[in-house]
Amino acid sequence: MLSFICDGSTIEKYDSRQKEKFKFGLSRVLPGLYVGNYRDSKDATQLDKYNITHIVAIHDTARRLHSDKHYLCVMASDSPDQNLTQYFSLCNDFIHAARLREGNVLIHCLAGMSRSVTVAVAYIMSATHLSWKEALKVVRAGRAVANPNMGFQKQLQDFEETRILEERRRLKERYPSLALVKQDEEQCALMLNNYEQLLLSRNICEGRCAMGEECPTGVCRTTPTRRSRRRSSRSQSDAVTRSPSSTSLRPRSGPAGLRSYTGSAPPSRSSSRVDLSRPGPSESLTAPVTPQTSPPVSPKRRGTIQVTTHKTLDEVPGS
């Protein structure tokens, strides 16, 4: 019987002979930073237990579920072609500002494996000096099922090679406080050490178990059969015919729409851009639409930022 500290606060026990899987609710990866799935995001008991104050929801139907939480909603699919890099700076600002004010942030998608993990890794890279592979190990040490799809991993690699130095500099200039630096460095070192021990004991994997090899977490992606690929190709072809977005004239690389609202009622689809500096029940003003230049969200004002993506015909898989 082996014991490891997995989240810096609780001790989980694993039997290497039985290869027991991790039991998941919310997974703590850094002080004030958690990763979870859609079910976790609806569980008010869990949110209260971990004192979650801010939520980053990133999936196809991301929306506000709790009126007493600050929200950042990013509508994005779990597709290798989905561009998540464009949201990294916006998510970094939301997460970092909340943590500096001693808030607790939950990042979730549907399964808590790919989209949410990608955002968490990008933040850890930006807030520390870790590479994307090291940051992913930190997340996996706290959440064994963390496994971004190959497209998202490639985006993280490109982010490290082309933009990470600029993003770290931008984050430090916007948030000059050093309050989180030491504790994040110590926590990351602890998590990396735990990762290596868990890897040696075969309680987690590196996310690339070979075909036919038993995966200790059961989440390694396998190559689809020819039949399933044919079925997938057919369904994607039908989607091109039926999807309203296939007739969109929006440029492929165009910036996403940014929407914000407060209160219980969702925003009107006709008001896609709102100036966050002048909130009001019926006000709708033009604001910058590029996520990287949007103003930071004040954790003191409860509300929701909603980011949506629109796919053109070229962006639909199989077109």
Ranges of beta strands (E only) in 189-309 are 257-261, 304-308
Euclidean distance between CA atoms 57 and 38, whole angstroms = 8
CB 60 within 8 A of CB 76: yes
Q: Which two tokens stand for residue 277?
A: 């500096």
Q: Which contiguous run of DSSP H or E holds residue 57?
A: strand 54-59
Euclidean distance between CA atoms 61 and 53, whole angstroms = 21
HSE-CB for 179 with a 13 A CA cutoff: 12
* Catalytic option among 109, 188, 205, 215: 109
Euclidean distance between CA atoms 52 and 55, whole angstroms = 7
Catalytic residue status for 220: no
Q: Which two tokens stand for residue 160?
A: 């490290």
3-state secondary structure of 167: helix
CB 308 within 8 A of CB 75: yes
Runs of H (alpha helix) within 23-131? 38-42, 44-49, 88-100, 115-127
Active-site residue list? 109
